[in-house]
Structure 1
Amino acid sequence: MGQTIRWKSRAELAASGLQPFTFPWPPPASGLYGIPGDIAELFAEAYAAGARVHTNSWGAPLAGEYSQNARAVDAFTWEHPDMLVLFAAGNDGEDVDSDGQIDRDSMGSPGTAKNCLTVGATENDRPAGSDPAPGLDRNWSDWSSYPKLGAAGHVSDNTDGMAAFSSRGPTDDLRIKPDVVAPGTNVLSLLSSVYDGDGEPLWGRLPEGHPLRDKYCWSGGTSMATPLVAGAAALVRQRLADAGHVEDGRRPSGALLKALLVNGAVPIPGQYPGEVPAGPNPVSGFGRIDVGAAVGPDSRVGFADSPAHAVATGEIRAFRVAASGTQLKATLVWTDAPSLEGLGGLVNELYLQVETPSGEVRNWDANPVTRVTNNVQQIIVDDPEPGVYTFRVRGVSVTSHAPGAAPAGDLRQDFALVVAGAAPEAGDGGALWAMDPATAAG
């Protein structure tokens, strides 16, 4: 949250031996200032204090660009693979051509980073007539920015619909962003104890006499959705700890937390035709967060997250599981090396495939195996046939050795693979169990 300040005049700066850092001068009185030139300093301080989940509700409207800050996120997580960094997607969704559809290519940065978990916003469940009344109690079409969005209805009456302002992808290098979405309209947020009470805070106060009026207020934005997902990430990490899967050192990886959350996410259909494309997409990513589906007691989730599983170019790790439900769902995530600023793209390329019991091979996307664009990949098998499925993680091109991988003669990339709706090939397994590769073929 920005703070109101008084900037020194040019004369005062000169008297102190300083120069204006922006033009025109002075900058606006209210804004987000004090971010260090190298944002790795933010993450390093938290990491040194023991934090392994870092949430950020800020960014710049760079329309999908892989910026210096995005590169800094990737560089830090590359060197600290047990840290999960989250960023808000931004609130720059627009309908410039007034066709009733929110335009693409508005993703904020550093949310364009490859390794962060980027969060967009859905509507919350606070319709008109709720008790207490929502702070922003109107339709999207009443908002001056969205006059043609009548089909979207109220700003918080459909959790299967997107918040119109939520920034859309893809990134300039054609990766899917956001990764996931969460409620971001009419969310109750903490009210600062030093707020002077002059005017309505954010999206408005709770009613007079409400016991939480002095402590909470209404708010909205991907800045609200992101900390909700950060809380979910902390719950996932705690679930891994309770199951004995948290070790000293570099596990669980940030990639595993991200993979579990993405794998548990529920696709949203949208609230009007054309709002949300089917499958992983640049509007809602891989879906709305669902902690129960990610690591709940009935979720039956297997995962691989070992440094020893890392793959080199031309190598394959294969994991065999038995289908045990009405859907088999797998998500692959890896923490990639930082790319060139302004260019982006993957440095190390992996690819996810599955072979069914009948011998059919399914790829994660329609691109050939040799063309990898995303370091988050997912395969869903509905109504799986009985038998053993083999998930393969292929090392397509690995040109930089990942710090999270076991030392080896070859350059290798570690990864996290999560499979839900499955059991080990030879037994039932637990609700949350670690997978080991069945083969390691060239």
Structure 2
Amino acid sequence: MDGTNFQEHPTHVAGTICAQGINPDVRGLAFNASLLSHDWTNDLAEMLDQASSGLLVSNHSYGIGQLSSLWFYGAYDSRARQIDNICFNNPYYLPVVSAGNDRNSTTAPGSIQINSKEGYDMIFGHGNAKNIITVAAVNQVLNYVNPSNVLMSPFSSYGPSDDGRIKPDISMKGVNVLSTLSTSDTAIGYMSGTSMASPGVTGVVVLLQQYYNQLYGNFMRSATVKGLILHTADEAGTTIGPDYRFGWGLINAQKSAIAIRDKNSSTNSKSVIEELTLNNNATYTKTITASGTSPLKISICWTDPQAPVSNNGDVDPTTKYLVNDLDIKVTQNGVDYYPWKLQGMSSPSLPATNTGTNNVDNFERVDINNPSGTYTITVTHKGNLFGNNQKFSLIATSDNLGTLSTSEAIKANDSKVDFYPNPAKNYIQINEKDKDLLINVYDASGKLVITSKLVDNRIDISHLTKGNYIANFINKKGEIKSFKFIKE
């Protein structure tokens, strides 16, 4: 902890996350968690240090920025870029950031932005990073029935980011939140702000990670838990799909937990949660069946590398900051279903569309109403992938799901590979003239399980479990080759 200068605001935030509940009225969401607090004077270095040590989540109920200028609003600035880099290099670390309270500002530059953009384009600084969750503040929802139950606060800052990304990401209660205060060990009180909303989301992240670890013995990548929260959100706002006010809607921790519980079940499955890797020039496909009255929702989420540049003074530049541009499409009987996408600052209040690919967001969701039958999920990418691959998380939910097949097909020269035996028990012999070929082997879920050079034209597979696998390599001519085999 930095110092002993206790203050009301951070004490209130901390209580929402993890107050033990000696007074049950102010028990935190993750009430058995431990908390490490810092002030903001050296936050980026402290974030890097903690993330490198295994920290899963951090809360940031503050804003830092030179708000004497309009360009800061919506900007992917140096702070946003640095945070994206920290997250990319620590793929289990997820910062949760308050969206800001500038929409009721009465002084410049906030008042100027409100008058010229009707409250949109007001998130600044690290709130515009790609790999975080940015949180809007709404009124309490005692009983969710439909989107009209979710009422926006008068202060919560609207997005988008300058490149049109969906910001904020999610909404949480941030009006009249009761929590701990610093004036005494028993002091409690009400506060309002996006600072009060983001710790609620932070507490949910802690609980979901704990639940996943209890069931499966490991933690989720940050992209998985972020994707799960956005995937299972309750609809909010006046239009279907995401918007720049509520993000993807009202957080629903119970739906997220149920998806974790039911994931990848062999019988009567209702959810798929998989952590995968897409290689450069590859196409990932998965065929599923779905039925029921609830929508079939299929999402991908990934931790994107930092953009090569940041904004340092331009007002509303057209620069796109997405580096590895993955795309998801779902197909049935020749009909393609695409993810939601918003229109950016050209038309920030218009409804989201789902008629084509999304080239700005690193969370994409496809919604299909009244699903019935077989659907093929296809994940591709534009351009070349930074690092030659991108880890991503795939999430699907419906009333009834069934998995038929999974593959990673290589889009380049898919020439025939001479190999044996198949089925194989201990090794695969690959008859290629080139030496020192690097072989990648993936299991049926698309997970990379072997990366190894050929030794005497063989690759050892003795440690693999029984099942279907796909392997690929690039020969000296630059040809990408792949083949499937069965491990006995």
Q: TM-score, normalised by structure 2?
A: 0.62
Partner of 1:207: none
Q: CA deviation at 1:50?
A: 3.8
Q: Residue 349 of structure 1 corresponds to which residue in structure 2?
A: 325
Q: Does 1:337 align with 2:305?
A: yes
CA distance in 2, matches of 1:337, 1:290: 28
Instruction: Quote the residue 1:71 is aligned against.
Output: 81
In the TM superposition, 1:180-191 aligns within 5 A as 180-191=170-181
Looking at structure 2, the residues matched to 94 and 220 of structure 1 have their Cα atoms a distance apart, in angstroms, of 13
Q: Which residue of 2 aligns with 1:389?
A: 375
1:40-439 correspondence runs (5 A): 40-48=44-52, 50-60=54-64, 62-94=72-104, 103-125=119-141, 159-194=149-184, 214-244=186-216, 246-247=217-218, 252-269=220-237, 276-296=238-258, 297=261, 300-306=270-276, 309-313=277-281, 315-326=282-293, 327-339=295-307, 340-342=309-311, 345-356=321-332, 358-365=333-340, 372-384=359-371, 386-401=372-387, 411-421=388-398, 422-426=400-404, 436-437=445-446
Shift of 1:252: 2.1
> SS state of the match for residue 310, structure 1?
strand
Which whole-Å CA distance do the structure 1 matches of 2:154 and 2:189 have between them? 21
Deviation at residue 124 of structure 1 after TM alignment: 1.6
Give a deviation string over 1:221-251, Cα, whole Å, max 9, x none: 111111111111112112221221x53xxx6
Shift of 1:174: 1.1
CA shift, 1:45, in A, is 3.5
Shift in alpha-carbon separation, 1:388–1:227, aligned structure 2, 3 A: same
- Structure holding more helix per residue: 2
TM-superposed CA distance for 1:301, in Å, is 1.9
Letter in 2 for 1:331: S
Q: Describe the superposition over 1:41-84 as per-residue Cα deviations: whole angstroms up to 9, x where unpaired.
A: 22133335542111111114631111111111101001001111
Partners of 1:70 and 1:265 lie apart in 2 by: 24
Structure richer in strand, relative to its length: 2
Letter in 2 for 1:75: N
User: Secondary structure of 1:387's match?
Assistant: strand
**Which SS does the other structure have where 1:354 is aligned?**
strand
Letter in 2 for 1:377: E
For residue 110 of structure 1, give the secondary structure of its aligned residue in structure 2.
Answer: helix
User: 2:205 corresponds to which letter in structure 1?
Assistant: A
Can you give the 5+ residue segments of structure 1 that lack an aligned partner in the other structure? 5-32, 127-157, 196-213, 270-275, 402-410, 428-433
Q: 1:87 to 1:252 in 2, by over 3 A?
A: same
Change beyond 3 A, Cα 1:344–1:90: farther
2:127 match: secondary structure? coil
SS in 2 for 1:335: coil
User: Is the deviation greater in 112-121 or in 87-96?
Assistant: 87-96
Which residue does the alignment assign to 2:40? 35
For structure 2, which runs of at least 5 residues remain unmatched after alignment? 9-37, 106-110, 143-147, 264-269, 312-318, 341-352, 406-442, 447-467, 473-479, 481-488
Change (3 A) 1:367 1:329: closer
CA distance in 1 between counterparts of 2:275 and 2:213 reads 14
Structure 1 distance, partners of 2:183, 2:303, is: 39
Aligned length: 334
Distance 1:181 1:102, change over 3 A: farther
CA 1:102–1:325 in 2, change beyond 3 Å: closer, same or farther? farther
Q: Which amino acid aligns with 2:90?
A: H
Among all aligned residue pairs of Structure 1 and Structure 2, give the percentage whose two residues are the same amino acid.
27
Alignment deviations for residues 352-378 of structure 1 (CA, whole Å, 9 cap, x no partner)? 11012x231111145886761111111
